[in-house]
């Protein structure tokens, strides 16, 4: 069966025609409205906690969604509904309460927006979001998102490979890492008033990880412009790493020869590593990573090495002792 979202790049001949896609999308939205009436389990973390302290066990999971849309990832897992994806969010700039993020971020200003790409590059450039949408063809990809807190979702993203953007600015041969920074706007993001975190949120990747074809800059979900709670207008998606690597609302991308400091690694270095590859064999110091709760399902499922993307990314870590790479 062909469907418009793929977890790996698709040939244009495989892409579902637009009219079929649109009618399926209407179906998804309709299904999502029904699912939206099912309350999600609250999963609160206090500001002094690292993420996931209070992740609920399987028994507290929300009721399964019998209207789950027909879109699946390449492992056959159904996509989460639009309502689930947009109402259960980690975005500490707005709140540590996942269900409060959507209402609190509703009026966040996402236009105008620019992202500055600079550092060890031959052609530094500041892009407006509208330039980005014109310059880089938008693709549709279904990826699993595995949060370090041991819950997961399947999300149909729209976006483009980060590699296309990086190639345009021409990294120099000295560049080894990419550093990302979220916007700092405490007047709109009340969480940035919290002294527990070193704002703005920062993340980083090795350059070869950033250039891997799976690494996406997302601009949409289910064909809709991405909403503030999911990181509008531009967010990173690195599907084989724990979700905290997938930084939201990016305003700076710096090419550097120094390994970047990241927010979570700075707050709790023994709990949140720089690599943060999904690995069921390495437990978080305070909970197991062997299994996960898929939002919308009753029972827990096994967590997969590299979140199931080993074929595409294992080569990046050859020779590294992954048991030491939390």
Determine if 51 is a binding residue for ligand MTE (CB under 6 A). yes
Determine if 96 is a binding residue for ligand MTE (CB under 6 A). no
Least distance from ligand MTE to the Cβ atom of residue 266, Å: 14
**Cβ(271)–Cβ(235) below 8 Å:** no
Q: 297: Cβ–Cβ under 8 A, 6 or more apart, which residues? A: 61, 64
Among the candidate windows 7-15, 56-64, 65-73, 88-96, which touches ligand MTE by CB under 6 A? 88-96
The sign of the dihedral angle between the CA atoms of 224, 227, 230, 232 is positive
The owner of tokens 């827990």 is 300
Q: How far apart (Å, rounded) are the C-alpha atoms in residues 234 and 231? A: 6
Q: 183: Cβ–Cβ under 8 A, 6 or more apart, which residues? A: 189, 200, 249, 250, 251
**Cβ(152)–Cβ(144) below 8 Å:** yes
Determine if 241 is a binding residue for ligand MTE (CB under 6 A). no
Determine if 83 is a binding residue for ligand MTE (CB under 6 A). no
In the beta sheet, which residues pair with residue 225? 220
**Cβ(302)–Cβ(290) below 8 Å:** yes
**Cβ(146)–Cβ(242) below 8 Å:** yes
Site size with ligand MTE, rule: CB under 6 A: 18
Closer CB to ligand MTE, 132 or 145, in the complex:
145
One residue of 65, 84, 93, 140 binding ligand MTE per CB under 6 A: 93
Phi, psi (degrees; rounded to nearest 5) at 141: -140, 135
One residue of 92, 127, 274, 309 binding ligand MTE per CB under 6 A: 92
One residue of 81, 246, 277, 303 binding ligand MTE per CB under 6 A: 246
Among the candidate windows 63-71, 90-98, 103-111, 119-127, which touches ligand MTE by CB under 6 A? 90-98
Closer CB to ligand MTE, 226 or 313, in the complex:
226
DSSP 301: E
Residues 202-231 as x/- pattern, contact with ligand MTE by CB under 6 A: ----------------------------xx
- H helix or E strand, kind and range, residue 264: helix 263-267
Residues 125-154 as x/- pattern, contact with ligand MTE by CB under 6 A: --------------------x-x-------
**Cβ(144)–Cβ(307) below 8 Å:** yes
Least distance from ligand MTE to the Cβ atom of residue 26, Å: 23
Among the candidate windows 6-14, 73-81, 117-125, 246-254, which touches ligand MTE by CB under 6 A? 246-254
Residues that bind ligand MTE (CB under 6 A): 51, 89-93, 145, 147, 182, 201, 230-231, 243-244, 246-249
């Amino acid at each position: 069966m062909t469907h418009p979202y793929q977890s790996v790049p698709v040939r244009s001949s495989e892409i579902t025609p637009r009219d079929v896609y649109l009618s399926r999308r209407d179906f998804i939205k309709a299904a999502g409205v029904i699912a939206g009436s099912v309350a999600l389990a609250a999963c609160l973390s206090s500001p002094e906690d690292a993420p996931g302290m209070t992740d609920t066990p399987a028994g507290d999971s929300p009721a399964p969604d019998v209207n789950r849309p027909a879109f699946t990832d390449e492992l056959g897992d159904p996509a989460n509904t639009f309502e689930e994806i947009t109402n259960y969010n980690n975005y500490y700039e707005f709140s540590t309460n996942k269900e409060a993020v959507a209402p609190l971020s509703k009026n966040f200003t996402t236009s105008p927006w620019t992202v500055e790409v600079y550092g060890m590059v031959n052609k530094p450039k500041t892009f407006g979001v509208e330039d980005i949408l014109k310059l880089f063809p938008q693709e549709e990809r279904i990826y699993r998102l595995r949060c370090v807190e041991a819950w997961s979702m399947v999300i149909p993203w729209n976006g483009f490979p980060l590699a296309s953007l990086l190639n345009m600015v021409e990294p120099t041969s000295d560049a080894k890492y990419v550093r990302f920074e979220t916007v700092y706007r405490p007047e709109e993001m009340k969480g940035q008033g919290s002294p527990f975190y070193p704002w703005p949120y920062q993340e980083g990747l090795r350059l070869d990880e950033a250039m891997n074809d799976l690494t996406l800059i997302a601009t949409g979900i289910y064909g809709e412009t991405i909403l503030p709670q999911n990181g509008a207008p531009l967010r990173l998606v690195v599907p084989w790493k724990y979700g905290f690597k997938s930084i939201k609302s990016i305003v700076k991308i710096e090419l550097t020869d120094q390994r970047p400091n990241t927010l979570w690694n700075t707050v709790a270095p023994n709990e949140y590593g720089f690599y943060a590859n999904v690995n069921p064999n390495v437990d978080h110091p305070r909970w197991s990573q062997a299994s996960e709760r898929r939002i919308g399902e009753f029972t827990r499922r096994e967590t997969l090495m590299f979140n199931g993307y080993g074929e595409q990314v294992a080569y990046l870590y050859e020779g590294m002792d992954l048991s030491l790479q939390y």
